[in-house]
Amino acid sequence: MTKIYPKLYVGPMSKLCVDAVIEHNADSSEKLGLLPSRRQVETEMLGGGYVNSWTTEIFSQYVLSSEGTIIQRDHAGPSQGSSQDDGKDSLFSDIDAGIKLLHIDPWKKYKSIQAACDSTFDLMEKCLERNSDTKFEVGTEEAIRPMSSRDVEKFLKLLKNKSEDVFKAIVYGVVQSGTSVIEDRNIGDFNPDKSREMCEIVKDYGLLTKEHNCDYLTPSQIRQRMKCGVDSFNIAPEFGVTQTKILLDLLEMNDSVKERKDFIKKCVDSEKWVKWMLPGKKDDLFLAQICGHYNFTSKEAKKCYSSLHEDYSLDKIVKETFRKRFSEILCVLQE
């Protein structure tokens, strides 16, 4: 790969998260990528997304107006947005908005390797017709469709056999390691043999390796994956949870009792925490911490922001916390 791609991609969990990435990239030679899912940021014709009410068009303009930040669409494809669709309108809007790196992920709809391969190739081909400079990531994460090393090899072989010219536009292949994100932690048993085998296969096809769901990993856990051959890492919900915890702590320090209570209730009632929970009863505060980022644009959240006086600078504390975490991870990735 002649182009240098980021080693760390951050989900745009909030405007503060996006601003922290942009500010980091302005100050550092080791760039971060931004990784919006379709639910977070979506084209205007499909209703926009929940993060800062951003459409693809407005988000891209906001980010790309500052040099040095790559946007990669995460989990593009059929049924990955808020409604059942074939994913093409969303992808074409991405390309038209200047997003040149797209993760093609039809695995939510298609579980067989052949069907997923056919859909991946069809979408890639149509994107290249729209803009021949478009690049791709292929494959999916463990939470959507667990893959064995043999599955990955079969998928990449089928894809390459369809067209070597189209295959050359692929930058990343997704690798899995046996872990996933739940609540506010990374669970499962890291399988170094699986990780190493997948990385070797993906690299044999001339691609970079990318692991999803790397939230909450310690430096030593990141090093383990690097030793197996993982080139790049995705982190998303961790930053949303971090910002929510900071917000709720500041509200408590500021004696914003009603605003804090109303926001917690809004989060619990939204039920956006359901997909992130292990079985068992959890208190409302914990549920709110896990899903607060889905509710940052609510009227309840806006009242929280307004109630905080200048001694409790949410923006400053959140961005400093994010940038400290960016630096911690990048220090490891630069070793």
Residues 6+ apart with CB under 8 A from 184: 216, 238, 241, 289, 290
Q: For 110-124, 197-211, 303-317, 318-332, which range has the lowest pLDDT when averaged over its residues? A: 303-317
Q: What is the pLDDT of residue 188?
A: 87
Question: How far is C-alpha 216 from the geometric centre of its chain's CA atoms?
Answer: 14
**CB burial string 83-117: b at 16+ within 10 A, e below:** eeeebbebbbbbbebebbbbbbbbbbbbeebeebb
309 has pLDDT over 80 = no
Kindly report, residue by residue over 264-299, the tens digit of the pLDDT. Answer: 999 999 999 999 999 999 999 999 999 999 999 999
Q: What is the pLDDT of residue 293?
A: 98
Is residue 1 pLDDT above 70, yes or no?
A: no
Cite the beta strand spans of the chain per DSSP E: 8-10, 33-34, 70-76, 101-104, 135-138, 170-175, 179-182, 185-188, 208-211, 232-235
The pairing of beta strand 70-76 with beta strand 101-104? parallel
Q: Residue holding tokens 């303009």? A: 61
Find the mean pLDDT for residues 76-94: 92
pTM, rounded to two decimals: 0.95
Q: DSSP letter string over 103-152?
A: EE--TTT--SHHHHHHHHHHHHHHHHHH-TT-EEEE---TTT----HHHH
